[in-house]
Amino acid sequence: MIGLRVGVLVSGSGSNLQSILDAERAGRLGPATVVLVLSNRPGVLAIERARVAGVEVEVIDHRAFAGDRASFERALVERLLAVRVDLVVLAGFMRLLGKSFLEAFPGRVVNIHPALLPAFPGVDGQGQALRYGAKIAGCTVHFVDEGTDSGPVIAQAAVPVLDDDDEKALAARILAQEHRVLPRVIRWIAEGRVVREGRRVRIVGLGVSAGSHLRSPEPEDEA
């Protein structure tokens, strides 16, 4: 029996999607199952990753809607509702989602961002961190609201910014943590461990708060 039904939205290579699919195959996603992958761009690697994993996949090209974001979002919502998705995961989905989409899945849309929010929201979080001179960077999984990367933080993982880092090197170090943290958060949600209290988010049973989760827990921390 499927527990939490997950829909994943993608736009590119789908490496975070792959981390989710790998976690599910290894039994590390808890009572969660990816039931649909939606891409807003045809021909991207994420589509092939979903097909190889045997997950239903569909392309809803935003360009076909001639800039009509409301119609594009309605198409996404209709497809997700058709397969009874409980949780929507944005895994490298490069389109902003508005009120109509979020109202269809209230409190049930999460995103992964390559920065330690609230620092460096928007595009190129890694480059922003380097240009600012930050000594610590990382990634954040957060609930999605109508702002840009402004929703409540669920979990974060930090990495050092090394003196000889360029954007590619830093991005790779952050991405490795994204691949660990995002599947873990999906599992926590599926297990009912994620509790929202206004802007604050508690992870029940782990002994840590979302705001202080600045390291990636080792496997034994997942119990």
Residue type, 216: S
HSE of 104, CA atoms in CB hemisphere, 13 A: 19
Cα 112 from chain centroid? Answer: 3
Active site residues: 113
Q: Which residues pair with 8 in a beta bridge?
A: 37, 89
Question: Residues 55, 157: contact at Cβ < 8 Å?
Answer: no
Residue 185, burial from CB neighbour count under 10 angstroms (0-12, 13-18, 19+):
buried
**Which backbone phi and psi does 139 adopt, to 5 degrees?**
-135, 160
